Structure 1
Amino acid sequence: MKFDFDYVLSSLPRVSDAAMVNLRIAILAFCLALIGGTALTLVRSLKIAPLNGLIAVCLSFIRGTPILIQIFLIYYGLPAATGLRLPPEIAGITAIALNSSFFISEIMRGSLPEIDGGQIEASTALGLSPGVIWRKVILPQLFRRISPMLINEGTVIVKGTALLSVITVVEALRVSQQIGAAKFRPFEPILAAAAMFLIINLALTAGGLLLERRFAREGR
């Protein structure tokens, strides 16, 4: 079957509308993952052996299994184990956010040694509480240092939202499959979906570069 570029163009309006679902899911999942990753980093900094051991086990599971399986576990496994059935979109956001939380925590933990210990000692000498030191001294610097890696994690999250088509979330990939099935031309609509993911991630990367330059100027 000959490639039809006009069919790509005609598919774009519906696919671009559906891509807003991907974008919404990605934003929510990233925000939750950032909160979760920060919380995990704080808990790990307490050096409570049982908690750190549990986090290490969960991290091994997250690293060692495909995110698609993790999505299935939330969507199908949670109702079987607890009776709690989440809507497809909520289940997808939960799975992606949990997955990314552990990776963000690892990013933060790897960058913590780069923070000048003298600042923490000085803050402690001034009588600041650990909570204030984390909020006012450590975390602002940490987020600046890891901003490029957070942008990269954001692009991973955006691409991961395409997997939610398998649990019936009507997003860009699923809509492109529906369009392709209607006329038995799957390639062109999928190409339209690929273009939408590329545009979103290019915009995200460009925004990240602008943020990095701003941080660089402020750090002079």
Structure 2
Amino acid sequence: MNFLDFSSTIPEMPFILEGLGVTLKVVAAAAVFGFLLGVLITLMKISPFKPLAWIADFYTSIFRGTPLVLQLMIVYYGLPQVLGFDIDAYWAAVTAFGLNSAAYVSEIIRAGINAIDKGQKEAAMALGVPYPKMMKDLLLPQAFKNIMPALINESITLTKESAVVTVIGLGDIMRRSYQAGAAIYSPLEPMLFAGLIYYVLVLILTFAGKAIERKLNIND
């Protein structure tokens, strides 16, 4: 009995690699959506209008307190029951991942803002700087600089968690590795190849994050 035999897997590798484009499109769109929504939720959390903060905290508790795969299945299988029409698997994945990521991103940004010296905020308020301008020009830029490593880590997490789209039939890397394994009656080798692809993606994101950190430190 051979422990590993990649001879039958090699012809399936191009098929599995075709899922890379699907994975990257889902991750990129969800990351942008999650970041923008996360900024909005952060502003709600730190808003002096308490009902907004309560809504934002409730949102965060829901999406951080339930499994991502459950959220994905509710969007893809549950929402059509309410809306009366089917949702494309790609957009269901982007929506679910974006909503989930926004909850974590909002906490990261909030922590970054809270880490800024309160004296800066007080000085801006004393000078009569409008709240939106203070956030846009003073607090948010500093917060983003401080939280960049955490945001890179969130993008890495999002990349790995994107593999759960296989449960709704989207042809990503993981889904195609399952199909390749079924075709050659040997699932381990295709899954190992899929794992290698994810590992390389994470390495690229890690190196990119370190490069951004170095650039930010140089500009200090």
Q: Distance in 2 between matches of 1:47 and 1:20?
A: 43
SS of equivalent to 1:6 = coil
CA drift of 1:84 comes to: 4.2
SS of equivalent to 2:18 = helix
Bigger Cα displacement from structure 2, 103-112 vs 9-18: 9-18
Q: Distance in 1 between matches of 2:215 and 2:172?
A: 33
Bigger Cα displacement from structure 2, 178-187 vs 106-115: 106-115
Q: Distance in 2 between matches of 1:51 and 1:133?
A: 19
Q: Distance in 1 between matches of 2:18 and 2:82?
A: 35
Counterparts of residues 182-193 of structure 1 (less than 5 Å): 182-193=183-194
What are the Cα deviations for residues 111-163 of structure 1, in whole angstroms up to 9, with x where unaligned?
22211223223333443321111111111111111110111100111111110
CA contact (8 A) 1:8 1:191 kept: no
Aligned amino acid, residue 74 of structure 1: V
Counterparts of residues 39-78 of structure 1 (less than 5 Å): 39-78=40-79
Q: Which consecutive residues of structure 2, in runs of 5 or more, have no partner in the other structure?
A: none
Aligned amino acid, residue 167 of structure 1: I
Q: Are 2:34 and 1:33 aligned? A: yes
SS of equivalent to 1:5 = coil
Task: Name the structure 1 match of 2:147.
Answer: 146
Query: Percent same amino acid among aligned pairs?
Result: 34
TM-score (norm 1): 0.93
CA drift of 1:49 comes to: 2.7
Q: Are 2:164 and 1:163 aligned? A: yes
The count of residues paired between Structure 1 and Structure 2 equals 219
TM-score (norm 2): 0.93
Q: Distance in 1 between matches of 2:49 and 2:129?
A: 22
Aligned amino acid, residue 190 of structure 1: M
Task: Name the structure 1 match of 2:5.
Answer: 4
What are the Cα deviations for residues 193-220 of structure 1, in whole angstroms up to 9, with x where unaligned?
111111111100100000001111111x
CA contact (8 A) 2:163 2:174 kept: yes
Q: Distance in 1 between matches of 2:18 and 2:57?
A: 40
Task: Name the structure 2 match of 1:176.
Answer: 177
Q: Distance in 2 between matches of 1:135 and 1:7?
A: 55
Q: Distance in 1 between matches of 2:73 and 2:48?
A: 32
Task: Name the structure 2 match of 1:195.
Answer: 196
Q: Distance in 1 between matches of 2:196 and 2:84?
A: 39
Task: Name the structure 1 match of 2:17.
Answer: 16
Q: Which consecutive residues of structure 1, in runs of 5 or more, have no partner in the other structure?
A: none
Bigger Cα displacement from structure 2, 206-215 vs 106-115: 106-115
